[in-house]
Amino acid sequence: MTDAIPAPTLPLRLLRSPLGRIVAFFVLLVAIGAATRLLRDALGLPHGDIPWADVTPSIEALRLLPPVLAYWLLVRFIEHRRVDELAARKALPHLVAGLLGGALLFSLIVGSLWSFGAYAVDRVDTGIAWLGPVLVVGVGAGVGEEIVSRGVIFRIVEEGLGTWAALLVSAAVFGGLHIWNPNATTWSALAIAIEAGLLFGLLYHVTRSLWVCMGAHAAWNVMQGPFYGIPVSGFEQHGLLVSHMQGPDWLTGGAFGAEASVVALGLCSVVTAACLAIAVRRGTLVAPSWRRKDPAIA
């Protein structure tokens, strides 16, 4: 006769609860971030506010180490499972799908702005310093922000409170994080929350893949700034296409960039609705834990 498995202690149950895991992630993030700063100092690498053109792959890798490592520790040692949403077998096909989707969606937005006379190309600049901006707005934002917003906040809130609450909470956090950007307004933060927060949340829900979300997010930003020369979330850009916007702020997005345009809001909402339709057809929308037969399963 085998011995019964002892029930988890109260501290362990609290740690494994949705709120406990979110708190644990951010504690790990801060601790690893502090250790990473010491490592940067030891290697003689700069940190803090670095001009984007000066960012190198090694600098960006150390920037991404805290969220990536904190997430891996959370999943492997607190949740005790494989990191299926970042499985190596999914990396190439899902990244490619996300990159193509993100590039296509933002190109449709720019094409629409151009057709309305709001976007104009002045010239082509083949001498731009592209590596640093691509690392920052593409790799850095795509990986770091998706781990925090979708991998941690959306996924874990969905497990506890259900899909609808997870969408609202993660979108609000995602939009709120952009309110501190240059040229940000209440409208731009709300637009980011609706067009990107809801879209990427549902994209994760229907694919259960952070690779897809990372690829789409990275391609969106790279096409917006380093390619089309449009400000990325308020940060001025020098792109391959030297361009300018003309027209009212509600159409162009103003100094914040096309993400605050009603065109971006409308087109992204269409894609968001398509993802929602897929989730409804599949029957995958998760109810709050107290309405599920097995509250531990999301």
What pLDDT is attached to residue 218? 98
Torsion-angle region of residue 185: left (phi > 0), alpha (psi -120 to 50) or beta? beta
pLDDT at position 289: 83
Q: Of the ranges 47-61, 85-99, 142-156, which one carries the lowest mean pLDDT score? A: 47-61
* Confidence band of 83 (pLDDT split at 50, 70, 90): very high
Q: Does residue 67 contact residue 30 with C-beta atoms inside 8 Å?
A: no
Mean pLDDT of 89-102: 97
Instruction: Give the per-residue pLDDT at 295.
Output: 52
Using one digit for the tens of pLDDT, what is the confidence trace for 30-73? 999 999 999 998 988 887 788 888 999 999 999 999 999 999 99
- What the block records as the tokens of 183 is 């040229």
pLDDT of residue 189: 95
The whole-number average pLDDT for the span 161-171 is 97
Q: With cut-offs at 50, 70 and 90, classify the pLDDT of residue 178.
A: very high
Q: Average the pLDDT over 239-267 and give the result.
A: 96
Nearest one of 191, 71, 204 to 150, comparing CA atoms = 204
Band of residue 143 on the pLDDT scale cut at 50, 70, 90:
very high
Instruction: Inform me whether the pLDDT recorded for 11 exceeds 90.
Output: no
Supply the pTM of this predicted model.
Answer: 0.93
Mean confidence (pLDDT) of the chain: 93
pLDDT tens across 226-238, in order? 999 999 999 998 9
| Weakest mean pLDDT among 41-50, 51-60, 94-103, 264-273 | 41-50
Q: How confident is the model at residue 181 (pLDDT cuts 50, 70, 90)?
A: very high
Q: What is the pLDDT of residue 242?
A: 94
- CA 4: distance to chain centroid? 43
Q: Is the pLDDT of residue 128 over 90?
A: no
What is the secondary structure of 215-266 as a DSSP string? HHHHHHHHIIIIIT---BTTB----SEEEEE-S-HHHH-GGG-GGGSHHHHH
Q: What is the pLDDT of residue 113?
A: 98
Is 135 within 8 Å of 60 (Cβ atoms)? yes
Q: With cut-offs at 50, 70 and 90, classify the pLDDT of residue 207.
A: very high
Tell me, what's the pLDDT at 4? Answer: 57
